[in-house]
Amino acid sequence: MARTMVFSLDDAVVFRGKQMRVAGRMLLEGASGQSTFRYLLSDGSGAPVLLEQAAANRYALLRPFPPGAQPDTAGKTITIGEERYTLVGVRRLKVLETRGQAPAAVPKSKLLLSGMFEGPMGTLMRELVPNSEQQLYYLVKPLASGDLLSASAHAAARAAKSRAAGLDDDD
């Protein structure tokens, strides 16, 4: 079983080849006790990146919808243009810890309800705090292996690649 890599606040990471740091971290607990981390990554110049980490180092990029572009929601479906997304599950997440900048634009709360919707273009997530009017929508995109590395793992991979290239030159 793979050991889960947990990043701490201010850790240096490389996201899709770009040096960044963990500017915020949130620890969530699901109904069956599983831990989920959310990371807010920043390089200080561009838009921050929001990632969610499930067990066994599975990461997903959460792309928030702009406040003025909220999709139409009716019951168990979300409609964006001509595309319909159907509710496939709801997660009840307890907020156990928040460090640094908030990795989500939700009001301070100890509980989040997170609905997962599947459709022709992938997965959407609708998140809300119970007894609140505010709802957040995210496009959820799984990361490929190697899209997110610690800075030290990235440096080691580059060094190994450089050594391999050097060996190839001698042949």
150-164 tens-digit pLDDT: 888 788 877 877 777
Reported as a single tens digit per residue, the pLDDT across 140-151 is: 999 998 899 988
Coil, strand or helix at 156? helix
> First-to-last CA distance in the chain?
38
| Residues near 160 by beta carbon (within 8 Å), at least 6 away in sequence | none
pLDDT of residue 84: 94
Residue 85, token pair as written in the block: 């997304």
Domain around 77: 12-170
pLDDT of residue 170: 46
- Its pTM stands at 0.85
Coil, strand or helix at 38? strand
pLDDT of residue 103: 76
Please indicate, yes or no, if residue 99 is contained in any of the structural domains: yes
Please indicate, yes or no, if residue 35 is contained in any of the structural domains: yes
pLDDT of residue 129: 84
Please indicate, yes or no, if residue 67 is contained in any of the structural domains: yes
Please indicate, yes or no, if residue 1 is contained in any of the structural domains: no
Distance CA 62, CA 138 (A): 6
Q: Contact, 30 vs 112, CB < 8 A? A: no
Ramachandran angles phi, psi of 154, nearest 5°: -65, -45
Please indicate, yes or no, if residue 138 is contained in any of the structural domains: yes
pLDDT of residue 167: 59
Distance CA 146, CA 152 (A): 13
**Below-70 pLDDT ranges, the chain:** 1-4, 56, 104-107, 167-171
Write down the residue that tokens 């928030």 correspond to.
64
Q: How many domains does the chain have?
A: 1
Please indicate, yes or no, if residue 65 is contained in any of the structural domains: yes
| Residues near 163 by beta carbon (within 8 Å), at least 6 away in sequence | none
Please indicate, yes or no, if residue 5 is contained in any of the structural domains: no
